[in-house]
Amino acid sequence: MAFRFNFAADDTDDDFIPNSLPAPAPQALPAEVHAPARYHILQELMARIPRNISYATISITPTVSIPRRELYDVRMQIMDEDELNGNGSERSITVGLDKEDIRSSLYEGGLKSWECSVDLVRHLASLYEQTGPESKKVLELGCGTSLPSLFLFQTTLSATKTAKPPFTHFTLADYNLEVLRLVTLPNILLSWAMLNHLSSSPEPWKPEGDLDVTETLTAAFLSDLSSRGIALDFVSGGWSTEMTELLKPTSPYDLVLGSETIYSPSTTPLFTDVLLEVLKGGEGSGLVAAKQIYFGVGGGVTDFVNLVRSKDSNVQIRVVREEREAGVGRSIVEISNKSGQP
């Protein structure tokens, strides 16, 4: 079963989002080919940013709008690159351009936006409307199109340049490096371009269109981040002890985000280990948005909560948001170590 968010009247087929993730394809690759964790600096990914980005802006709340790169535009870039390099579209990321939403050990769904990520944006928006954000280091595990981090990034950009930015360090992690460079970073650039346009032009932001990524634009983007003291970095690969080691220099994180990351019983323990390790020793919290149960796969909120408790009995766990209006119920679970003890 599939449905639309109805973000806009002219949504494309790219915005279909399943009510429950399908079981991994039977031809899933063996565990030994899991992508190793790798660290990437912003300049590395910026070097391969497309020169033109087609986008559509989605309205998540009356005050929160987020532009996303169109999936057809990703498809066109991959075709152009494959034609140039003679690859013949054999890359793993092409799985996500077809009808498969995930294929274990190969592609984990990062090209599309999933409904729990929207739940998480709405929760963050309501949270910061009440309390206001503090300076934080943010990590999003399994970020994909990265809607929650994009909202926090926009919150930072909306702060005055003379004020201390509410979020100073963003780490975006996804299984596939190509997801990071094809959608995650372009979406970050789009959010920056939208906020920059709204602050400098009397003309409204076009809800859909094309962003020309000129050298002048990229230089202004990098300069603005530097002047605000905002750091962006990226990690690709599977959840593992290697990923935890890569994240140690910036741990503990103040806020760790995850949406639709606990659908597989085989990888949820790995995700949980990374989550707990990057919070250890600090006073931050993790917010994990997920469906109550993932039919055909086996994961779900209850099993995740029980797993967290079995791994660390000292952490505090509470459900901070529930969605029950239709279909499978969805929840956001907060995991925190307020004592700050390792």
* Percentage of the residues of the chain whose pLDDT score is greater than 70: 79
pLDDT digits (tens, 9 = 90+) for 117-146: 999 999 999 998 777 777 799 999 999 999
- Asked if pLDDT for residue 212 goes beyond 50, the answer is yes
Helices (H), 62-114: 71-85
Chain segment 270-290, per-residue pLDDT in tens: 999 999 999 999 999 999 999
Residue keyed to tokens 């230089």: 219
How confident is the model at residue 105, as a pLDDT?
55
Residue 104's pLDDT is 60
Q: Which string of b and e fits 221-237 if b means at least 16 CB within 10 Å?
A: beeebeebebbbbbbbb
pLDDT at 75: 86
Helices (H) and strands (E) in the chain, counts: 10, 13
pLDDT score, position 288: 98
298 pLDDT tier (thresholds 50, 70, 90): confident
Rounded Cα distance, 100 and 103, in Å = 7
Give the confidence band of 110 by pLDDT, cuts at 50, 70, 90: low
Q: Tell me if 281 sits within 8 A of 271, measured CB to CB.
A: no
Q: How would residue 94 be classed by pLDDT, with cut points 50, 70 and 90? A: low
Domain ranges of the chain: 38-337
Q: Could you tell me the pLDDT band of residue 161, with boundaries at 50, 70 and 90? A: low
pLDDT at residue 155 tops 70: yes
**To the nearest whole number, what is the mean pLDDT of the chain?**
83
325 vs 336, residue with greater confidence:
336
pTM: 0.86
Residue pLDDT, tens place only, 224-281: 999 999 999 999 999 999 999 999 999 999 999 999 999 889 899 999 999 999 999 9
Provide the CATH number for the domain formed by 38-337 in this structure. Answer: 3.40.50.150
